[in-house]
Amino acid sequence: MELFRITSEKYSKSLTSSGASNRWNKKGEDVIYLSPSRSLATLEMIVHRNFILPEIPYKVMVVLVPDSEGLIKTIKTSELPIEWRRLEAYSQLQDIGSDWFLQMESLVLKVPSAVIPLEDNYIINTKHKDYDQVKLIKVEDYFWDNRLM
């Protein structure tokens, strides 16, 4: 399946992880967050950044991820705390993601988007034995619509 990530041009040359903590991982756990569409990737980036500088060139990374049975673990909203989208639930969600990461349960963790809960995002475990199957297949220019700012 093709998944998407929007990043500054500086970080668009290869699939790397900063190891920073986020909603579904703790600090030092090298994961890559991807979205199933360019539009959801845009929304996710806007809400997770304190500011966007349109003068910085951004790129869309198009990533090919295997969707074979056994390589994807899905987390459903029904399995999450009631207020899972709130900041107060971060530690609980980080525990879920950290357990998945450390146990190497699957290459991919499919999680509901906190921005659009009826859509999903995908988290790649860069330490998983099948990570070599994840491929950056294309990098596209990204166009900022100023109405988003």
Which residues of the chain, if any, have pLDDT below 70? 50-53, 146, 148-149
Please name the residue that has the structure tokens 């703790």: 26
For the chain, the domains span: 2-148
Q: What's the pTM value of the predicted model, to 2 decimals?
A: 0.92
- The per-residue pLDDT for 29 is 96
pLDDT digits (tens, 9 = 90+) for 34-61: 999 999 998 888 887 766 667 788 999 9
